[in-house]
Structures are given as C-alpha cells and as structure tokens.
Chain A
Amino acid sequence: MKNIYLTLVLFFSLVLLLSSTISEPGDPAFNARINTYKHECKQLIKPARYEGSRVTFYTASKNSQKKSIETYFLMDTEYRIAFSGKESSVKLNVEIYTSMDPEKRVLLKEIKNLQGKNTSVSSIELNKVFHKKVNQTDRLKSVYIEYKIEGGNEKNEAIVMVLGFMD
C-alpha cells in the first residue's frame, strides 16, 4: 500500500515538474523572455525606426528543420535586421537569400551559430554582396531569411527577428 502511494506521489510530482518547465507562448515567463529579446533587438537596430517583427516558434526535435521569413525593403534607404537566438538551445544558422526560389536565389549572408546570442545585419552589406554576385544595378527590394534549426532535445523554443529602417 505504501509503495502504491509512493509511486502515485512520484508520478504526479513528475507530471507537475514537467508541466512547469514546458515553454509555450501562453507561459508568462517564456513571453517575458521573448519580450526582453525583442527589446534587445530593437536596441540593436537603432537608430533605425521599427518596421515590424516576427517571433518564430518551433519545437526542437531529433530532426533538423527549416523556417523562413520574407521581408521587404520598400524604401530606398538602409534597413536593419536584428536576430535573437537566445531562446534557442540547438544549433541555429541563418541564411539570407535574394528570393525563395531555390533555383534562382543567391545567398547574401550566412550567420552561423546564432543560438544563445543576438546579432544584426544591414541592407547596405546585403546590397554590396547582391551587386557583387549578381550583375544588377537595382537594389534589393526584399530578402528571404531562412532559419536552419539543427536537431536536439525536444523543447519549445523561438527565434526573434526585428526589422527597421533609417528615416
């Protein structure tokens, strides 16, 4: 009888422990961390004005996965993109392309091992590569960002991206 009680207590304690450590968008602690990283990204793009942001949620699993975001450089000005990989524990690489078409796209920038840190990139740098690699006088009007998320322990994680432009 004592053993049954002990097993039940251990089982429910384990369930409680697991449920308290699972991160999800509704979890206040998780949301607070995401907001902090978003704020850090906003600081990184300064003095650029905020244009928009995207939080990409994923569940790390044994298999690697890809997520992508398309952003626009509508105005003929410098755009800045900041990324935060602080809510990622698995290996995370970011690749920025000219388009989403795998046959036509040109790689403009690769950011390796973003997990655990923040970084930013400017459209000036991307345009330089664009003009060098492609015989084009026009500027970039949009870019296609691809997150390459390596496999790892099952965990809910997120990548933060903030876009801004110089006014």
Chain B
Amino acid sequence: MNIVIKNKFTFILLCNLFFLSCSGENKNVDKEVKVEAQVENTFNSDDYDFVLPQPISLAKAFQASGLSYHPNLTHDVSKKDKYFDKVKQLLNLGVYSTDLAYSAINEHANEARAYLKAIQLLGNQVGLKPVFSDKDLIDRFDKSLNNMESVEELIYEIQERSEEYMQDNDLRYLSIVQFSGAWSEGMYLGIKDIELSKEKNEKMSVTVVDQMNLLKNIIKGLSTYPNSDTVLKNVNKKLNQILTEYNEFESVKKSTSNDVFVSPVLTDSELKKLSLMIYELRTFIIQ
C-alpha cells in the first residue's frame, strides 16, 4: 500500500515538474520570438502615457483650416526604393502616409494610388507584413478610385489595422518613429501652404500651433526606441531644437504665462523661423 501511495505521489510530483518545466520552456520560446517586444512587455504601464492622432487626422485638420492642394509639394514617390535603413524606412512610411491622406482628401486619386503602393512597400520592409501584405489592397483601392469616400475609408482601415498591430505586438516605438515622419510632412505642407497663399490664413497658423502641441510627446515617444540609431538621434536632436526655439517665441511664452492655456498667435518672423526648422527636418528625413 505504501509503495502504491508513494508511486502515486511520485507520479503527481513528476507531472507537476513536467508541467512546470514545459511552461518554463514556453516562456523561453516567447522570449526568443518576441525579442523586440520586451520594451513594453512589463506589466505596469508608465504613469504618464499619450495617444497621438492618425496621419489622416493631421491632414484633415489642415484641410479644415483651408489647406489648398499644391502639386509637387509632396515627397517624390520614386524615392521609396532608396531607403535601406529601417529608421529611414519608418520615417518615410510616415511621410508617405501623410502624402497619401493629403492626395486622397484633395481627390487626387492617381497620386494617392502611388502613395498607397509606397506605404505598402515600406510597411512590408519595416516588419508590418500582416498589415500591408494584403494583395487585395490595391485592387480595393482601384475599385474605389472614383469614390473618394471609399478611398478614405480604406486609409482609415489601414491606419487602424497598423496601429492595433503595433500595439498588440508591443511595437509601439515603431509607430512613434512613423508618426514623427507623418508629423514633419504635415507641418511642411501646412507651412508651405501659408507661404504660398496670397491671402493671410490665420486659421492655418492656428492649426500649425495646434500640431506643435504634439511635439513634446513625439520626442518622449522616440526615446523609447530600443536601439541607438544615428538617424533617429539626429531627428530627435532636430525635434528638440524646434521645441526649444518654439517655446522661446514671445507669443508662446506669453500664452503659457496665462492661468489657462491660450493658443499663441505666431508673428510672421516666428512663423518664418519655425518654417526654416521644419524644412531642415523634412529634408533630413526624406534625403
């Protein structure tokens, strides 16, 4: 009897040890598969977090302020094959995302189609194949070509899938790099529009200022990128410089000294200074 009991216990003990060792192995496999996922895969989220808008929202905010369509302002789509560095690919994925939205909301279907192909290519290159490998994507776009609402619908769908994929797979740092490219392109298009408009558009200046409010969180987000990267360091340096100079503008200092934040109205010289810094950043990103 004793032997039977002893054997039963031994059996249960061995089973326990077996299951424990199995679960340990699984954890190791998970670690190997998700090397990149370790950045955010701790249980406690940061005490402070943020949600950045989608690139199409950046373009739509500018559009609502009266952004006109200027041909040839967007990034050269033929450059899409020239980016071999992952950070450059991510940054330009963002740039092309804004250009796609800018073309679509201004009903330039052919340009939008070319940008969709560009983001599909770069999306696949940066590891977002589950989002961008959909063979039907271009077919669906072509079917919607004469209906810009359907094209916008498709863009929203891609952005939602892309955002969710990156969040679910702890790849949020990739989306921040992409967003910084999208932001710089949006700011470039907005500021260029102010420059090219014959009449002064105060609403556009307000939208530029609104989008400057995103910058502190873009900079914070970029610092979560796991690897030390020269391109990213340069982008971060330029973004920090833009934010520092912007915060030193008299109109900005005046607005932040109020008890409640009031959007500053930038003077022409402040806008000029800001535009030069944005052009420099954008040139660095797309070169």
Contact = CB atoms under 8 A, between A and B. Distances in A.
Interface of A: 1-2, 5-6, 8-9, 12-13, 15-16, 19, 24-26, 31, 49-59, 66-72, 74-76, 98-100, 104, 106, 134, 136, 138, 141-142, 156, 161, 163, 165
Contacts of A9: 9, 12-13, 16
Interface stretch (B86-94, B122-130, B206-214, B224-232): B206-214
Contact of A25 (B41, B50, B263): B41
A94 to B, nearest CB: 14
Given A56-B49, A67-B47, A67-B49, 5 more contacts: A12-B17, A19-B23, A52-B163, A56-B45, A98-B261
B51 A69 contact: yes
20 contacts: A2-B9, A5-B9, A8-B9, A19-B23, A50-B160, A51-B53, A52-B52, A53-B164, A58-B43, A58-B45, A66-B47, A67-B47, A70-B49, A74-B61, A74-B210, A74-B211, A98-B260, A100-B48, A138-B263, A141-B210
B44 interface: yes
Nearest to B260: A134
Nearest to B48: A68
B39 interface: no
Given A15-B20, A75-B57, A70 B51 contact: yes
Contacts of A52: 51-54, 163
Contacts of B16: 9, 12-13, 15-16
Interface residues of B, number: 48
Contacts of A134: 260
What does DSSP make chain B's interface, helix, strand, loop or mixed? helix
Given A2-B6, A9-B9, A49-B156, A72 B44 contact: no
A98 B160 CA distance: 27
A1 B13 CA distance: 14
